Amino acid sequence: MSGIIRRLPEKVFQKIAAGEVIERPSSVVKELVENSLDAGATSIKIELAGGGKTLIRVTDNGMGMSPADAEICFDSHTTSKIREAEDLNRIKTLGFRGEALSSISAVSKVVLKTSEGRSKRGISIEREGEKLLSIKETAFPKGTSLEVKDLFFNLPVRKKFLASQRAELSRIVTYVTTIVLAYPEVRFSLKHGERSLFSYSPVSSLRERIYQVFGKDRLEDLLPLEAEQGPFRLSGYASIPPSGRKDRRYQMFWLNSRPIKDRSLQAAVNQAYSTFLEKGQFPEAYVFLDVPPSEVDVNIHPTKIEVRFVDPKRIFQFIYRTVQEVLLREMGVKEVRASANRKEASFSRPSHGAHGSNSFYPDTGGDKHPYARELFVPWGKEEKPGPQVLGQYLDFYIIAVDEKGLLVIDQHNAHERVLFDKYKDLDRQRKMPRKISVTPKIIEFSPSQELNFKMNSSVLEEAGFGVDPMGGRSYALKEYPDIFNQEEAEEVFLSLLEDIGEQGEGDGEIRSRKDKILASLACKSAIKAGKPLSMDKMSYLVESLFKTSNPGVCPHGRPITLRISRSEIEKGLGRKKS
């Protein structure tokens, strides 16, 4: 049977192709900003409405386009950046595929204004999907402005799956932050509706740009990275141990000033830090890698954020050794030592024996100590019900026993659960204790922090944090929960802004945000792993744990207790046949 395979109409093909390049509003912003930078712009203004879903306008002072170039720039595979296949081996621009404007115009309503600056006149082109509505002369200075309205107006299914306005705006802010860091010499401004999110003047170095974006405190916690090896060059900043993050969100990588995502680069940095950070902690890193264009293929995916190196092993080793050498110079070789003697702890470890450092021995004070007894006798009426504490292991875990066997309890997770239930109760009663600062701490927000604060200010207020705007991105921390001192409150507050993340606006989502904040407060104020505890404190903590709503897991979902049953112990020691 013939005629089954048919050539797709051009407008259908364009919509399919556009879906690969333009996934959401942040994709549009990315493509337009990259075009501006490739055009040599030194000032880029980004204006948004509706989280970018209803309006995106990017205006620059780059070289602009002639009327002839402007008329064909929306055609598929039209570009000024390459001429032949060999050019793919020496790409130095951010864009090169000739798909961006074609893809954007296929799924939105577009107005382009541009001028080369040779006269006071420019050209204006208006399109709606595949339809050309108008071409006319207009007064316009040197540069380009591209306005994108009603994204996916002709693809209702794609439009339906866009996230909330807040979530889409957050993605745009995240992307723009990465490109702002890569081009400190360029002026950037970002506006949403009538609200200015940021405006960064040009500076001469990455250090100054980090100061602009993240503030002085963040900059002081970073180490400079600088190295060259043959044709490769690495620069940037990374966090000073033991400072770390709970995830990899604060690890950013650029290749020849192009923001990229690459697991091998990320692994190189994390492995270099592996002996300097606690398990579950990750470094903050802003890593710029410069390599000859012939050493990397950036034509892997239409979004151009994935790359393939000619010699990935060499790149990995270069980054790993550079970061490791910087850390060793800063920190020295990390020594592993046994825990220091503890005055408060009710037990001590012997100084002899092959496994002495891994054992715990309650200080019984002779045979009369109340916990020096047979482990598995039934509980008598004179004893409190529930687990009985035997001691502490490695200053991390409480060892207890009940009628079913041994319990290993994570002291931090246990205390976190106890505090979380307590804070939830105080929140329900609206009795969260607060402390008023005599001299409020002035905090400089990054753009993403300010956005998260404005999205969650009422919930943070209910959690005990009173914050007043001071102009620009400066805010005064006036009130904070009474469980912290001022320095701790600032650290916890900034951490909460980063932890809150994207949430919806319904009652259920607000409750989720509140619980997330209370869980973070509990985590920040809970007993830390590695802290020695007295028998009284351990007993009180264990007793309180088993009165909570969920003694099995902490508010973040981590297990609290590991049980080793009597039968497993007896089986392992050959006391009982399997």
Mean pLDDT in consecutive groups of 10 residues from the start of the chain, 578 residues: 57 51 89 93 97 96 91 75 51 62 90 89 91 93 95 89 92 95 96 94 96 90 93 95 83 93 92 80 94 81 76 94 87 38 33 34 37 35 67 90 88 91 82 82 86 84 86 88 81 77 47 75 85 91 88 80 84 70
From residue 342, alpha-carbon distances to 327, 338, 347, 394, 537 in Å are: 30, 12, 9, 12, 14
Coil, helix or strand for 547?
coil
Coil, helix or strand for 80?
coil
SS3 content of the chain, % helix, strand, coil (to 5): 35, 25, 40
CA dihedral 323, 329, 330, 332 (to 10 degrees): 110
Q: pLDDT value at position 366?
A: 38
Q: pLDDT value at position 98?
A: 56
**Max intra-chain CA distance, the chain:** 99
Q: Closest Cα to residue 177, out of 145, 220, 210, 202?
A: 210
CA–CA gap between residue 417 and residue 519 (Å, rounded) = 8
Coil, helix or strand for 482?
coil
Coil, helix or strand for 309?
strand
Q: pLDDT value at position 528?
A: 87
- Global confidence as pTM: 0.63
DSSP letters, 382-444, are TSPSS-EEEEEETTTEEEEEETTEEEEEEHHHHHHHHHHHHHHHHHHTT---EEEEEEEEEEE
Q: pLDDT value at position 177?
A: 95
Domain ranges, ordered by start, for the chain: 10-200, 221-331, 343-578
Q: pLDDT value at position 174?
A: 93
CA–CA gap between residue 576 and residue 75 (Å, rounded) = 79
- Tracing tokens 């081996």 back to the chain, one arrives at 89
Q: pLDDT value at position 391?
A: 92
DSSP 8-state assignment for residue 177: H
Class for domain 10-200, per CATH?
alpha beta
Two structure tokens written together for 131: 């339809």
On the question of a common fold for 10-200 and 221-331, the answer reads no
According to DSSP, the residues that pair with 406 across neighbouring strands are: 401, 564
From residue 424, alpha-carbon distances to 350, 390, 432 in Å are: 42, 30, 9
Q: pLDDT value at position 385?
A: 62
Give pairs for 178-183: CB < 8 Å, separation 24+. Answer: 178/252, 178/254, 178/259, 179/30, 179/33, 179/34, 179/37, 179/259, 180/209, 180/213, 181/206, 181/209, 181/210, 181/213, 181/252, 181/254, 181/286, 182/254, 182/257, 182/258, 182/259, 182/288, 183/37, 183/257
Phi, psi of 207 (to 5 degrees): -55, -45
Q: pLDDT value at position 383?
A: 46
DSSP 8-state assignment for residue 83: -
Q: Closest Cα to residue 11, out of 125, 107, 120?
A: 107
CATH fold of 343-578, please? formyl-coa transferase, domain 3 (3.30.1540)
CATH fold of 221-331, please? Ribosomal Protein S5; domain 2 (3.30.230)
Give pairs for 272-280: CB < 8 Å, separation 24+. Answer: 272/319, 272/320, 272/321, 272/323, 272/324, 272/327, 273/238, 273/241, 273/244, 273/323, 273/327, 275/334, 276/241, 276/242, 276/327, 276/331, 276/334, 277/241, 277/242, 277/244, 278/242, 278/244, 280/246
Q: Which amino acid is at 246?
A: K
Give 492's contacts (C-beta < 8 A, 6+ positions apart): 480, 484, 520, 521, 524, 525
